[in-house]
Amino acid sequence: MEALGTIVGALDDFFGIADSGADPAFARFLPVAYEAHPMPWRAWVEPAFATHFNGLMIRGDDRVNAVFLAAFPSDFVLRQFLARGTPGDLLFVHHPIDLESGDPHGAWGRFFKPISAEVLRDIQDAHLSIYSCHAPLDYHPTLSTSRSIALALGGTIAGEFFPYGKGHAGVLAEIPPIGVSELEQTLRHLFGVPYLDTAGGHPPVIRAIAIVAGAGDRVDQMEIAESKGAEAYITGEIHSRIDTDYGHTKFADVERFAAQTGMALVGVSHAASEFLVMKTDMQHWFRERWPLATVLLPESHWWR
């Protein structure tokens, strides 16, 4: 076992939570998601979390037996955590709230979803903890969501793009030469997804890639990546399939860009793109510091 305070302090220091400011996404979206919730969010989050929207969100018992890792605190993930965790266990997640951003072969998404009151009470009653690390895990200079993808593809980091928070969420990488079809097959296997969301060009050989884990559906950043020589743009979602006016507008913007770009655009699902770092990096990060069990909690369906 390890003291929760020791683990939280190490995470805060490594990811620079105290100097990170307010999270660029969840400082806006989390309060809105909980507007009509029966449990006001400020009443149950840790005080520092209400400033940064990163860090320890829910405090359980002080002694941690195991660390669970997930991309989102979806209902499926949280119920797995409740079923398998013991008092004091910690869930390390990328998002502090769930996200449904749509399925290219199914329904459009319902955007951000709060943790239900029932599940929140169950987590509190079970004395479990949740730590969320969003933007700092996206832009960290050595351990990040996008870097994990580049390294898993055998890439060498060649630069950064996509300004986000206190750094850059996107990386440019050089990889061994590969064709589009082979790259797509590799990505399906790497992320465990049944299909991809693809658009754009079909270059004969790909050696230079741009990677943005999560929501990479920004045409201005796609244009920058292409101007820097990227032949493929790999992200969680090339299209926003969130069923709002904003989502439909962004979808149309990417469609127009896809019709004229030479880059291959490849989406692997938002959640899967941000789960890989948990498998390849964060498990090791915890294990090399403490003799704790680590448990991965993947989604049952990545496209959602």
- Whole-structure pTM over 0.95, yes or no? yes
**How confident is the model over 246-253, as a mean pLDDT?**
92
Q: Are 137 and 29 in contact (CB under 8 A)?
A: no
* Backbone region of residue 53 per phi and psi (left: phi > 0; alpha: psi in -120 to 50; beta: other values): left
Would you say residue 54 lies in a domain? yes
Would you say residue 301 lies in a domain? no
Q: What is the percentage of the chain residues whose pLDDT exceeds 90? A: 95
pLDDT band at 191 (very low <50, low <70, confident <90, very high): very high
pLDDT at 172: 99
The number of folded domains in the chain is 2
Neighbours of 238 (CB within 10 A): 28
Q: Is the pLDDT of residue 244 over 90?
A: no
**How confident is the model over 260-281, as a mean pLDDT?**
98
pLDDT at 158: 98
Instruction: Kindly give, in sequence order, each residue whose CB lies less than 8 Å from that of residue 187, ignoring residues fewer than 6 positions away.
Output: 193, 196, 234, 266, 268
Would you say residue 258 lies in a domain? yes
pLDDT at 110: 87
Q: Is the pLDDT of residue 42 over 90?
A: yes
Would you say residue 240 lies in a domain? yes
Model confidence over 226-243: pLDDT tens digits?
A: 999 999 999 999 998 988
pLDDT at 87: 98
Would you say residue 114 lies in a domain? yes
On whether both 232 and 149 belong to a single domain, the answer is yes
Q: Are 272 and 300 in contact (CB under 8 A)?
A: no
On whether both 25 and 130 belong to a single domain, the answer is yes
Nearest 5°: CA angle at 258, between 255 and 259?
90
Q: Residue 112 corresponds to which tokens in the numbers above?
A: 């951000």
* Mean of all residue pLDDT scores within the chain: 97
Distance, in Å, from the CA atom of 279 to the CA atom of 70, rounded to the nearest integer, reads: 9
What CATH number is attached to the domain comprising 215? 3.40.1390.30
Q: Which one-letter amino acid corresponds to residue 43?
A: A
On whether both 100 and 152 belong to a single domain, the answer is no
pLDDT at 266: 99
On whether both 173 and 196 belong to a single domain, the answer is yes
Residue 236's nearest CA partner among 210, 268, 264 is 268
The least confident of 45-59, 77-91, 231-245, 275-289 is 231-245
Identify the domain containing residue 250 by its residue range.
Answer: 140-268
On whether both 149 and 120 belong to a single domain, the answer is no
On whether both 112 and 147 belong to a single domain, the answer is no
On whether both 83 and 193 belong to a single domain, the answer is no
**How confident is the model over 178-198, as a mean pLDDT?**
98
Q: Residue 83 corresponds to which tokens in the numbers above?
A: 């079923």
Model confidence over 3-27: pLDDT tens digits?
A: 999 999 999 999 999 999 999 999 9
Q: Is the pLDDT of residue 168 over 90?
A: yes
On whether both 30 and 62 belong to a single domain, the answer is yes
Model confidence over 65-110: pLDDT tens digits?
A: 999 999 999 999 999 999 999 999 999 999 999 999 999 999 998 8
